[in-house]
């Protein structure tokens, strides 16, 4: 019996050899090593920061588990593994800020200081928010957050969220008198501003222009006024489109 089995094995390999190279049977891929979680399908308007907040999971952990290098490069339909989650959570689409909401964020007109211009910056970082920039600026001896307003990209604050800095609350200049400093989180040499950031920036400047009678030609990019060589707010910043939208939003 043993000889018969051995003969059949030899015959099998001979047949394979006549038909080409001996092949190894295809093995099934190993099971996914991650357990105790679910897969979330990215919907339109969702950001990694907001998904992490929704599921109460650390965003850096989501980036590690899903091999994400840039948190701003999520695609609609992309599946993300969410550790510890039992069922997908539904989040509605992005809802733009109403002008009235932006007016509340800015607050009533202050007559103790006359603002005449607006300068737009990018953070030149992929992530961040007002708090992280404030810590960094204090370490650099800048007296805390340099900017009057910060507009988030969904990594450290909401996508399009407008954060108010201490300089605006106290009506203090940064480095140029009468100049309001607005920073959008992101590196716009490598990426583009989000739809939410674009809309929030237009509405924020519209409110500031109306309150302080700022001329549209005084809404400029950092590189337009800096004495140092800089491309801030980045090559991909849609300055012409921002100005065009501001012209439409006359108040």
Provide the pLDDT confidence category of residue 90 given band limits of 50, 70 and 90.
low
Asked whether the CA dihedral 212, 216, 219, 223 is positive or negative, the reply is negative
DSSP string, 164-224: E-HHHHTT--SSSTTEEEEEESS-TTTS---HHHHHHHHHHHHHHHHHHT--GGGEEEHHH
Taking only the tens place, the pLDDT of each residue in 155-186 is 778 889 999 999 999 999 998 899 999 999 99
Q: Of residues 217 and 56, which shows the higher confidence score?
A: 217
* Segment among 78-87, 146-155, 195-204 with least mean pLDDT: 78-87
Q: Full-prediction pTM beyond 0.85? A: no
Residue 107 has pLDDT above 90, yes or no: yes
Calpha distance 45→196 (Å, rounded): 9
Residue 12 has pLDDT above 80, yes or no: no
pLDDT at position 178: 95
Provide the pLDDT confidence category of residue 1 given band limits of 50, 70 and 90.
low
Closest CA to 204 of 124, 107, 72, 95: 107
pLDDT at position 49: 82
Superfamily of domain 99-248: Peptidoglycan recognition protein-like (3.40.80.10)
Domain boundaries, the chain: 37-83, 99-248
Provide the pLDDT confidence category of residue 92 given band limits of 50, 70 and 90.
low
Calpha distance 184→233 (Å, rounded): 8
Asked if 207 contacts 106 with a C-beta cutoff of 8 angstroms, the reply is: yes
pLDDT at position 77: 81
* Segment among 46-50, 166-170, 186-190 with least mean pLDDT: 46-50
Asked if 183 contacts 147 with a C-beta cutoff of 8 angstroms, the reply is: yes
Superfamily of domain 37-83: LysM domain (3.10.350.10)
């Amino acid at each position: 019996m043993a000889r018969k089995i051995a003969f059949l094995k030899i015959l099998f390999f001979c047949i394979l050899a006549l038909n080409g190279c001996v092949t190894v049977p295809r093995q099934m891929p190993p099971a996914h090593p991650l357990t105790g979680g679910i897969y979330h399908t990215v919907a339109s308007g969702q950001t990694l920061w907001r998904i992490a907040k929704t599921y109460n999971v650390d965003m850096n952990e989501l980036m590690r588990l899903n091999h994400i290098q840039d948190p701003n490069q999520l695609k609609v339909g992309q599946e993300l593994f969410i550790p510890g989650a039992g069922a997908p959570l539904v989040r509605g689409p992005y809802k733009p800020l109403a002008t009235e909401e932006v007016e509340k964020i800015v607050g009533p007109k202050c007559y103790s200081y006359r603002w005449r211009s607006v300068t737009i910056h990018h953070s030149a970082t992929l992530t961040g928010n007002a708090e992280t920039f404030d810590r960094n600026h204090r370490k650099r001896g800048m007296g805390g957050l340099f900017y009057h307003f910060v507009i988030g990209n969904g990594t450290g604050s909401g996508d399009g969220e407008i954060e108010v800095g201490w300089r605006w609350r106290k009506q203090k200049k940064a480095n140029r008198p009468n100049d309001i400093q607005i920073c959008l989180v992101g590196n716009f040499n490598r990426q583009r501003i989000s739809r939410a950031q674009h809309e929030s920036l237009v509405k924020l400047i519209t409110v500031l222009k109306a309150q302080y009678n700022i001329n549209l030609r005084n809404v400029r990019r950092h590189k337009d006024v800096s004495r140092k060589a800089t491309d801030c707010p980045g090559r991909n910043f849609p300055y012409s489109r921002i100005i065009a939208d501001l012209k439409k939003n006359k108040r």
